[in-house]
């Protein structure tokens, strides 16, 4: 393993206790679903060893993920195979639009306001729902989002920002931008040595590239799924999320093909070697999703 990949793994393990299940979901969503969605346990164990995750931890995590309905398990003879369940695939497909998608385009200065109704418990449940849709909390009973489609049966109000300063103040009150900025800065710092090493030393081995790719998406996913992805005018001029997107896009494009080359040569499903992805994955982060 290349030194800079080992350093990246050291930082990953030192910061948080490893959550094998979450890392496996990232692996399947990013790398296995585009290649048919099924993976042999033996291949999974080999990949997870590259992340310094033990066989015992992987087996325990997979048992829990199957019990939670996120994965399906199939046994053929003595061999075991896993795939994301339909609900698990849908969850990652929804996430993929934020993870790999292009930044938002022009904003027409309009906000969508949602007034929460019902009992205290009903309003709390609705608040969680709208926050999951990217809305911010302006007051305990008033949510704010970027105007767009309104598929939900709720009480909506429209508002137009007449001054950018006022709009930015509303954004800073409704969304946890300071916390997100800190997370993005940490991501940029974490992957800066990897970015520099790829530029100065070239690509490491194919399995190292797969490890980098999955860690990159795993860390980026943890932040961007919390991010309402606001239009640029609502964000500070030095918003670190812009750099994080560029860092993720640049590293991913550099290593995606090498990572897939390892999967093609080593990983198997019920039918043998994994099928190739429908299209090259290096085009992700440019609005082309698989």
The model's pLDDT over 260-274, given as tens digits with 9 standing for 90+, comes to 999 999 999 999 999
> Is 105 strand, coil or helix?
coil
Tell me the three state secondary structure of residue 240.
helix
pLDDT digits (tens, 9 = 90+) for 114-152: 999 999 999 999 999 999 888 999 999 999 999 876 666
Q: What is the pLDDT of residue 290?
A: 32
- How much is the pLDDT for 150? 65
- Report the predicted TM-score, pTM, of the whole model to 2 decimal places: 0.89
Measured CA to CA in angstroms, residue 111 lies from 106, 168, 199 at distances of 13, 12, 42
What is the helix (H) or strand (E) element at residue 78, kind and residue range?
A: none
Determine contact, residues 91/127, Cβ cutoff 8 Å.
no
- List C-alpha distances in Å: 63 to 21, 22, 41, 59, 67: 10, 13, 12, 6, 6
207 versus 14: the higher-pLDDT residue is 207
Label residue 240 by pLDDT band (50, 70, 90): very high
The pLDDT of 209-237, averaged and rounded, is: 93
Give 35's DSSP letter: G
pLDDT confidence tier of residue 288, bands split at 50, 70 and 90: very low
Q: What is the arithmetic mean of pLDDT over 200-223? A: 95
Does 72 or 161 have the greater pLDDT score?
A: 72
The one-character DSSP state at 36 is T
pLDDT higher at 230 or 285? 230
Distance CA(120)–CA(122), nearest Å, equals 5
Question: Residue 221 pLDDT > 80, yes or no?
Answer: yes
What value does the mean pLDDT of the chain take? 90
Q: What is the mean pLDDT of residues 15-20?
A: 76
Q: Tokens for 26?
A: 């990232």
Cα separation values, 32 from 133, 208, 262, 279, Å:
26, 17, 12, 13
Closest CA to 281 of 236, 215, 214: 214
- Do residues 210 and 262 lie in contact, with contact meaning Cβ atoms separated by under 8 Å? yes
Average pLDDT of span 148-158: 76
């Amino acid at each position: 393993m290349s030194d800079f990949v080992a350093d990246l793994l050291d930082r990953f393990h030192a910061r948080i206790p490893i959550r094998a299940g979450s890392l496996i979901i990232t692996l399947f969503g990013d790398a296995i679903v585009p290649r048919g969605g099924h993976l042999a346990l033996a291949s999974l164990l080999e990949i997870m060893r590259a992340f310094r995750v033990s066989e015992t931890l992987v087996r325990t995590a997979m048992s829990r993920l199957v019990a939670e309905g996120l994965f399906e398990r199939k046994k053929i003879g003595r061999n075991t195979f896993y795939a994301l369940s339909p609900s698990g695939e849908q969850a990652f497909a929804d996430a993929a639009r934020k993870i790999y998608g292009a930044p938002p385009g022009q904003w027409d200065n309009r906000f969508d306001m949602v007034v929460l109704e019902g009992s205290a418990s009903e309003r709390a449940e609705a608040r969680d729902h709208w926050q999951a849709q990217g809305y911010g909390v302006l007051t305990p009973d008033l949510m704010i989002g970027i105007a767009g489609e309104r598929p939900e049966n709720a009480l909506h109000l429209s508002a137009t920002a007449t001054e950018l300063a006022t709009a930015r103040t509303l954004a800073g009150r409704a969304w946890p931008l300071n916390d997100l900025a800190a997370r993005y800065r940490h991501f940029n710092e974490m992957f800066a040595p990897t970015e520099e090493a790829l530029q100065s030393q070239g690509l490491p081995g194919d399995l190292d590239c797969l490890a980098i790719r999955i860690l990159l998406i795993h860390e980026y996913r943890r932040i961007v799924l919390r991010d309402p992805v606001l239009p640029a005018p609502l964000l500070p001029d030095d918003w670190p999320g812009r750099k994080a997107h560029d860092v993720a896009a640049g590293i991913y494009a550099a290593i995606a093909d090498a990572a897939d080359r390892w999967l093609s040569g080593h990983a198997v499903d019920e039918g043998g070697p994994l099928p190739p992805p429908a299209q090259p994955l290096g085009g992700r982060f440019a609005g082309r999703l698989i």
